[in-house]
Amino acid sequence: MTTDKDFETQRLTDCFVRIDANLGEIGERLSDYQRDIQAAHDHMWEARRDMDHLDKVAMRQSIDQMMRSTDILRAEAKKLEKLRKSPYFGRFDFRRSDRNQATAYYIGIHDFRDEETQEPWVYDWRAPVSSLFYDFETGPAHYEAPSGKIPGDLALKRQFRIRNGAMEFMLDVSVNIVDDMLQEELARASDDGMKNIVATIQRDQNAIIRDAEAHTLIIQGVAGSGKTSIALHRIAFLLYRFKDTLSSSDILIISPNQVFADYIGNVLPELGEETVPEIGMETLAAQILGDKIRFQSFFEQTARLLESDDEAMKERIRTKAAPEFLRQIEAHAQHLEKTTFVPSDVVVRKRPLPGFVFETTWERLKHLDTAERIVATGNSVIEQFEAQYNIELRKEERAVIRKAARGMVKRTTLRKAYKEFFDWIGRPELFRATGGKLEYADVFPLIYLQMLTEGVENPYAGVKHLLVDEMQDYTPVHYAVLARLFKCRKTILGDATQAVNPYSASTPERIEQVLDGAWRVTLNKSYRSTWQIMQFALKISPNPDLVAMERHGPDPDLALVRSQKDALAHIVSAARDFRASDHISLAVLAKTQGQAKRLHKALKDAGVEARLLEDGSTGFSTGVVVCTPHLAKGLEFDRVIIPDASEAVFSTEMDRNLLYVACTRAMHRLSLISVGRPSVFLDGVWTLDALHEGRPAI
């Protein structure tokens, strides 16, 4: 093993030498380009009176070409600087069946080929051959190359940890490398954002990442399964695989909030790709509807449900989230199509123009929105009339036909048509607007009705791949709208058991029914939390399919207190303990935003530095954070405290989901406080006798 280590240490040193040499050469070429560009600018200035137009155009084109070349060189230098810290993380030796000797492949975040010798020192983790590292142990193996299947034998598999230019360790597959490396990575404290996982991608994850065939891929992943990270690595793979036809600007991410968008924002740049545009579902709706419609946000809807427990509101939300509601909107749109246009006969130049001519023309132009359709109908009827009678109508006669066409259309406002829809289905009580503001549950049904009856301008026609996170929070109507806006390939991910609003939650099966050509995959292994935390969470919301990673840590603890003052004292003490630890993130997750605000103020008054996350927050941060489970979805923290897990706070089915989400945000430590009797959802975890005796949680 000493010989192997010496070899790998020397090989790493040699790799750094070649990286430095390439960086030096790039630096020299950049200096040459800068001199040439400056010289060209100077020449253009000095010879500006003697140069004709063609000379100036040629000179500008030359300067532009040199500028593009410098941009390419700077990007290459940036990539090499990143490799200088950690050029690779794995090695495997593969002998093709048609060859006698095995070839050693080293894989890293980027590829590196020596400019001078053209020797490949590092292969990109996304390269076809690199899939061998993720998919096979030693023995028979194969990979899919552009030329077809390449069979062979994997003779060696080795993993490294290289940080800041130094090799910390190397391990062979014979010591269960993948599990050991994964356990060590998972045991580390959290970062200030989501990490790339290229060194620890598992075989099932790799299959999802490298799937280039599915038009719509639905990823159902349990809490902590890495589904968001996998989706982002999939985007990075597709950008590599289709680099000639797909760029970062061609991709759009629909994320739940700006905090989450900031949290995941560093993954693609770490993988060497540009940041992908991101948008929230409410922003998308506002762009389509414009300023004419004001509406409640999903955050406001959830907050109101938690604070009021309004049964009528639950019924409105539940009804509009059902697949049947989508069919009713489509049926109503067909009804409007049949009743909106009332044809009538017109006489022009004493010649009859029957109403059926208008009607058949109107029907033929149904692909247009209403305004365009009216104009096109009038123009088409004029052309038919002139052709039939072989005459040319005067301007005022054409105006008569156009006016008649407009008069045959029963026009109404979108909002009024939508309100009348509920009368049409016999459920007028389902429509409710407060202060002229639509409920969030009405926003996408309204947009869908507009699409079916008027059409909408599509600002996203150029998007080539759509990624939708937290899929469970969107209804069938949401997906019907997305299907019409985005004809492109899609990656959709989430977890049906983590819906903060169970009344509007969608399952993967419901989503499949709306999106044609969808393919569903399931991730059941949870990596984020310790085994003890996941076993605790599963007692709150059982899931027999979830497999917890056996990484062990302290049992979750529950403090039973008499008052909010006592609870605050526990949180202050826990915050001090956190500050003294090597952990970098602690989340205090209150059920509602109002509770979070009050708690944040109390902590501030007690001298605890903490940040409050709200609906308008735009960035993720480490340290002590106070927020709700709703805003914490998709995030992870070293430690989590639930400030009041009493039966007075967590009692409904919606509360159960929130409690489960809150618990599964914790990576290493989970603490709960109950002011009075604990929630009924904790009955399977502790008994009151055990709590009073101080016995362990599980």
* DSSP structure class, residue 190: P
The pTM of the full predicted model, rounded to 2 decimals, is 0.86
Number of C-beta neighbours around residue 656 at 10 A: 17
At residue 116 the predicted structure's pLDDT band, cuts being 50, 70 and 90, is: confident
The DSSP line for 42-58 is HHHHHTTTT--HHHHHH
pLDDT at 550: 87
**Tokens (6 digits) for 363:** 């029907």
pLDDT for 23-39, tens place per residue?
Answer: 999 999 999 989 988 98
Q: Is the pLDDT of residue 213 over 80?
A: yes
586 backbone dihedrals φ, ψ, rounded to 5°:
-135, 125
Question: Average pLDDT of 124-141?
Answer: 94
pLDDT for 527-548, tens place per residue?
Answer: 999 999 999 999 999 999 999 9
254 backbone dihedrals φ, ψ, rounded to 5°:
-100, 110
pLDDT for 299-348, tens place per residue?
Answer: 999 989 988 878 999 999 999 999 999 999 999 998 988 888 899 999 99
At residue 51 the predicted structure's pLDDT band, cuts being 50, 70 and 90, is: confident
pLDDT at 694: 47
3-class DSSP state for residue 246?
Answer: coil
Rounded-to-integer distance, Cα 665 and Cα 667, Å: 7
Q: Is the pLDDT of residue 177 over 50?
A: no
Alpha helices (H) in 296-369, listed in sequence order: 298-308, 311-320, 323-340, 355-364
Q: Which long-range contacts (CB under 8 A, 24 or more apart) does 408-413 make?
A: 408/341, 408/342, 408/343, 408/344, 408/355, 408/358, 408/362, 409/340, 409/341, 409/370, 409/374, 410/339, 410/340, 410/341, 410/342, 411/340, 411/370
Using H for helix, E for strand and C for coil, what is the string for 516-533?
CCEEEEEECEECCCCHHH
Question: Average pLDDT of 79-104?
Answer: 93
pLDDT at 182: 63
Query: Over pLDDT 90: what percentage of the chain?
Result: 69
Q: Which of 591, 576, 684 is nearest to 639 (CA)?
A: 576
Rounded-to-integer distance, Cα 506 and Cα 321, Å: 8
Question: Average pLDDT of 15-22?
Answer: 94
Rounded-to-integer distance, Cα 153 and Cα 534, Å: 38
pLDDT at 696: 44
At residue 185 the predicted structure's pLDDT band, cuts being 50, 70 and 90, is: low
Q: Is the pLDDT of residue 351 over 50?
A: yes
Question: Average pLDDT of 616-632?
Answer: 91
Q: Which residues pair with 625 in a beta bridge?
A: 587, 611
3-class DSSP state for residue 248?
Answer: helix
Average of per-residue pLDDT values in the chain: 90
Question: Average pLDDT of 91-97?
Answer: 95
